Structure 1
Amino acid sequence: MRHVTYAEKTLFVDDTLADLLMEYSRLIAAAGESDTVEVPAVGADGNEVRATFLLTSSTVLMTETTSSDLDVPADDGLAADLRKRIRRVSAVNVALPEDGGDQVRINEDELS
């Protein structure tokens, strides 16, 4: 489990989801894109919540380890979706030289 800090609020999030959220946020920023991700978490009050993160190039997101033994919700479906989003943002679109050649595009279905 990790503490995820966003907009001066700290939540407890599953390790895998926290790592994927951080990686996706980094890639979104580098690509100049934006997206939202809804993550299951536990708030500071101990209640389970679903937190929506807005990820942009100006997002300030921090994760840190914790020794707490609090049980945080995992979400394998969300983890798979984040991995797919990471592959999409990581994919390289190759452009041919400025001589009027066609741009090569990657089919997102091939990234699954």
Structure 2
Amino acid sequence: MKVLAYAGGEYLTGDDIADALLDYSQALADVGSAASVEIPIVAKDGHHAEATFLVGPASQIVATTAEGEYEELVDDDLVHRLRGLARALHPVAVPVDADDRPTDFDSAI
């Protein structure tokens, strides 16, 4: 589990969820954009809840590893969606040859 420190609060969530949120936040910052993302968390009383994060260029999120009694939060669909959104913000570079012309796409793969 990881604790996300954000906007003066601390939010306990799963490792993969926290990592995907940070990756998406970085990708948004790279392109000067922002988005709201809702993630599952473990509330202070131990029940599952949701928290919404506004992430992008001004985000200041710190993730730290947390040891505790709670079972790891897992949301594979959310992690997959966030990673896909992050990848979509970083198009794949096309290799160029010495003349600065795109190379044959089939040979570049």
TM over 0.5: yes
Q: Is the 8 A contact 2:26 2:56 kept in 1?
A: no
Once the two structures are superposed, residues 32-62 of structure 1 have per-residue CA deviations (whole angstroms, 9 ceiling, x without a partner) of 0011111001122322111111112111111
Percentage of identical aligned residues: 32
Give the whole-Å Cα distance in 2 for the aligned partners of 1:38 and 1:93: 30
Give the whole-Å Cα distance in 1 for the aligned partners of 2:55 and 2:93: 22
Q: Is the 8 A contact 2:24 2:86 kept in 1?
A: yes
Q: Is the 8 A contact 2:12 2:43 kept in 1?
A: yes
The alignment covers a number of residue pairs equal to 94
SS in 2 for 1:46: coil
Give the whole-Å Cα distance in 2 for the aligned partners of 1:72 and 1:10: 16
Q: Is the 8 A contact 2:23 2:83 kept in 1?
A: no
Q: Is the 8 A contact 1:32 1:56 kept in 2?
A: yes
Give the whole-Å Cα distance in 2 for the aligned partners of 1:4 and 1:55: 12
Structure 1 position 91 matched with structure 2 position 83: no
Deviates more, 1:83-92 or 1:31-40: 83-92
Q: Is the 8 A contact 2:41 2:73 kept in 1?
A: yes
Q: In angstroms, what is the RMSD of aligned CA positions? A: 1.7
Question: Amino acid of the residue matched to residue 55 of structure 2?
Answer: L
| TM-score, normalised by the number of residues in structure 2 | 0.78
Deviates more, 1:43-52 or 1:25-34: 43-52
| TM-score, normalised by the number of residues in structure 1 | 0.76
In structure 1, stretches of 5+ residues that fail to align are: 95-112
SS in 2 for 1:71: coil
Structure 1 position 15 matched with structure 2 position 4: no
- Runs of 4 or more, structure 1, over 6 Å off, are none
In structure 2, stretches of 5+ residues that fail to align are: 95-109
Structure 1 position 29 matched with structure 2 position 29: yes
Q: Is the 8 A contact 1:20 1:82 kept in 2?
A: yes
Once the two structures are superposed, residues 69-110 of structure 1 have per-residue CA deviations (whole angstroms, 9 ceiling, x without a partner) of 31243111101101110111122588xxxxxxxxxxxxxxxx
